[in-house]
Amino acid sequence: MKTSLVLFTAAVALATAGCGGKASSEAAASTSAGPREIDITAGDTMKYSITAIEAKPGEDLKVVLTNIGTQPKEVMGHNWVLLKAGADAAAFDAAALNAKDTGYIPSALADEMIAHIDLLGPRKSGEVEFKAPAAPGDYTFLCTFPAHYQAGMRGTLTVK
């Protein structure tokens, strides 16, 4: 009987130690602080691992793009460009063809972007933090490396 009481007391002590205490509320606070992180990979197949992102208006977001491919940057580089509502993704991509010196980001159309991650070579990562647009709607993101958009390397951020 005495052994059962000791075991019961120990079990109660262990169970209550992690319940609602300071440690668990600190963990909750640390996970809610800062932007929500979205990890995207892209490789030699010219596809993003994520093509649909949902966000609340004005939500703080952090996109991390990792090029998991093996091809050299000059052959199979990847970037991530989020366009404003109403921007013509195909026209932006076409202009990017002539922007090799700026990582295939056409500086003349910079005002059409919300955020972007520069061109990455194999096994490299880049990130960008931004606020989701305040206006609900669909916002296109794409890779502007030549032929990647045409191959389907694009997606949509839906704000609702």
Could you read off the pLDDT of 13-29 as tens digits, one per residue?
433 344 443 333 333 44
Looking at the domain 35-159, which fold is it? Immunoglobulin-like (2.60.40)
pLDDT at 130 > cutoff 70? yes
CA pair distance 129, 122, nearest whole angstrom: 22
74, burial (CB in 10 Å: exposed 0-12, middle 13-18, buried 19+): exposed
Reported pTM: 0.79
Could you read off the pLDDT of 30-50 as tens digits, one per residue?
456 799 999 999 999 999 999
Q: Residue 38 corresponds to which tokens in the numbers above?
A: 């979205």
